[in-house]
Amino acid sequence: MVSINGNPIDDVLDYRFYMTDRQLQIELLRQNVPYIVKVHKGEYDDLGLEFDTYLMDKQQNCKNKCIFCFVDQTPKGMRESLYFKDDDARLSFLFGNYITLTNLEDRDIQRIIRMRISPINISVHTTNPQLRVEMMKNPRAASSLRYIQMLTEGGIKVNTQLVLCPGINDGEELSRSLRDLGALGENLQSIACVPVGLTDYREGLYPLRTYTAPEAAAVIDTIDAFADEVQKERGVRVAYPSDEFFLLAGRPIPPVEYYGEFDQLDNGVGLMAQLEQEFTSACSLCDPCPLTRKVSIATGVLAYPLLCKLAGKAQELFPGLTVEVHRIVNDYFGHNITVAGLITGTDLMAQLKGKDLGEALLIPNVMLRHEQDMFLDDVTLEEAQAALGTPIQVVENDGFSVLSAMTGQEI
Ligand code: SF4
């Protein structure tokens, strides 16, 4: 495909943008022979074309060397795709990936604005230009900060994330980043603050450490002080600590009202509050009744207390139901990694082998790769089931699905 209505088609964004017209003149090239195809269609009709790759183009990789990069701390020998560092604005639009803006030019930003590709998810980390360069080890990390303002002034909504490293971009630096981002106005949709994730595989990498409880609490307080102010003006908090910060600080997860539109669920912001609320709603739809059933749940250290609470509620509602929650410690990456999404099949099998898991072992779908057939370490679902001698049921991360899976009943 060369062009649509005279507009060159370089990638899937051009294609999607220009094919919305009702009358299309499409220039195609087959074995160097040009063809013109005319199409009359409805405004929202798709042309039904599929391309070799979803971008119709090579995926752009990242040009940074962030001091906290998770890819750099991934143990050797895992599947190749886990070592690919993408930083592609098109993936931000298509799949919500976060981008750093460091490999973009002014014309790329203008194209995003022209095509109204919104929202864009941006890894900011700090708005201090010099510090951003030091953290991302890329001189362009400073100048590319101005693109955030260009985008918001151009009418593009942005979600931002700050990966916080103790003593580096928290404290006063965090306050400055929040202030600068807050000044972007209404098109700044959200700011997620997540603690740096450290595996046991950091040999030769920048020396970083995890948050202590008082430090995590100080981060929450800094964000909350800013968010309280914004809430007075805009009615939403805008800036949120991730669920992990509350766990690190030993504080309870806030209620759902705290999270506004839940713009940052993919960053682990508000996931637990939402799950609990959905689960409570699901329970309210059920009449208490006895049930003879035993199931197990596997989860990470982070969500373990919440799932125990949900299991307790379900057992109260359905006498005779037994739900055992198993806390899987991440031996594969290291014990600082607490999220369920990074639990491997190896750890699951090693820690649950020989246990009576009941009728089924429930695992959250985030434990498996996108195709839902394999764990991160390439252990297949079948292999794990065979090793544990129990059917594994993959459960969507919503409260209704969790209660349905616990009870074996459609809710
Ligand atoms: S942007 Fe930074 S954290 Fe992301 S992949 Fe590149 S080096 Fe790693």
CA nearest ligand 1 atom 2, residue: 66
Shared-domain flag, residues 258 and 146: yes
**pLDDT at 266 (0 to 100):** 87
Shared-domain flag, residues 52 and 6: yes
**pLDDT at 94 (0 to 100):** 77
Residue 152 inside a domain? The answer is yes
Domain limit, last residue, from 229, 248, 267: 267
> What CATH code is carried by the domain that includes residue 225?
3.80.30.10
Question: Which atom of ligand 1 is nearest to 68's Cα?
Answer: 3
Domain limit, last residue, from 217, 244, 267: 267
Cβ count within 10 A of residue 50: 6
Residue 311 inside a domain? The answer is yes
Query: What does DSSP say about strands 239-241 and 293-299: parallel, antiparallel, or unpaired?
Result: unpaired
Is the minimum distance from the CB of 141 to ligand 1 under 6 angstroms?
no
Is the minimum distance from the CB of 69 to ligand 1 under 6 angstroms?
yes
CA atoms within 13 A on the CB side of 268: 22
Is the minimum distance from the CB of 64 to ligand 1 under 6 angstroms?
yes
**pLDDT at 254 (0 to 100):** 96
The answer to whether the CB of 405 falls within 8 A of the CB of 307 is: no
Residue 23 inside a domain? The answer is yes
**Containing domain of residue 338, as a range?**
275-407
Shared-domain flag, residues 242 and 328: no
Domain limit, last residue, from 244, 267, 290: 267
The number of folded domains in the chain is 3
Interval between CA 243 and ligand 1 midpoint (Å): 22
Q: Which secondary-structure segment (H or E) carries 275?
A: helix 271-284
CA nearest ligand 1 atom 5, residue: 85
Interval between CA 398 and ligand 1 midpoint (Å): 29
The CA-based dihedral angle spanning residues 260, 264, 265, 271, taken in that order and rounded to the nearest 10 degrees: -60
Residue 65 inside a domain? The answer is no
Shared-domain flag, residues 84 and 22: no
Shared-domain flag, residues 307 and 221: no
Shared-domain flag, residues 75 and 52: no
Cβ count within 10 A of residue 76: 6
**pLDDT at 398 (0 to 100):** 94
Is the minimum distance from the CB of 87 to ligand 1 under 6 angstroms?
yes
Is the minimum distance from the CB of 100 to ligand 1 under 6 angstroms?
yes
Measure the CA–CA gap between 272 and 291, rounded to whole angstroms: 27
Is the minimum distance from the CB of 291 to ligand 1 under 6 angstroms?
no
Q: Report which of 297, 376, 304, 372 is spatially closest to residue 338, judged by C-alpha positions.
A: 304
Shared-domain flag, residues 342 and 202: no
Measure the CA–CA gap between 182 and 191, rounded to whole angstroms: 9
**pLDDT at 244 (0 to 100):** 95
Residue 63 inside a domain? The answer is no
Question: Which atom of ligand 1 is nearest to 64's Cα?
Answer: 7
Shared-domain flag, residues 386 and 323: yes
Maximum CA pair distance of the chain? 72
**pLDDT at 280 (0 to 100):** 97
Shared-domain flag, residues 127 and 196: yes
CA nearest ligand 1 atom 3, residue: 69
Shared-domain flag, residues 361 and 302: yes
Is the minimum distance from the CB of 85 to ligand 1 under 6 angstroms?
yes
Q: Report which of 12, 21, 27, 14 is spatially closest to residue 91, judged by C-alpha positions.
A: 12
Question: In which residue are the tokens 């006498």 written?
Answer: 319
* Pocket residue to mutate for ligand 1, from 74, 85, 198, most atoms within 8 A of Cβ: 85
Shared-domain flag, residues 201 and 297: no
> What CATH code is carried by the domain that includes residue 286?
3.40.50
pLDDT in tens, the chain (411 residues): 999 999 999 888 888 889 888 999 999 999 999 999 999 998 878 888 888 887 778 878 899 999 999 999 999 888 888 888 888 888 877 788 999 999 999 999 999 999 899 999 999 999 999 999 999 999 999 999 999 999 999 999 999 999 999 999 999 999 999 999 999 999 999 999 999 999 999 999 999 999 999 999 999 999 999 999 999 999 999 999 999 999 999 999 999 999 999 999 988 999 999 999 999 999 999 998 899 999 999 999 999 999 999 999 999 999 999 999 999 999 999 999 999 999 999 999 999 999 999 999 999 999 999 888 999 999 999 999 999 999 999 999 999 999 999 999 988
Residue 131 inside a domain? The answer is yes
Question: Which atom of ligand 1 is nearest to 100's Cα?
Answer: 1
Interval between CA 81 and ligand 1 midpoint (Å): 14
**pLDDT at 296 (0 to 100):** 98
Residue 134 inside a domain? The answer is yes
Shared-domain flag, residues 92 and 222: yes
Interval between CA 160 and ligand 1 midpoint (Å): 15
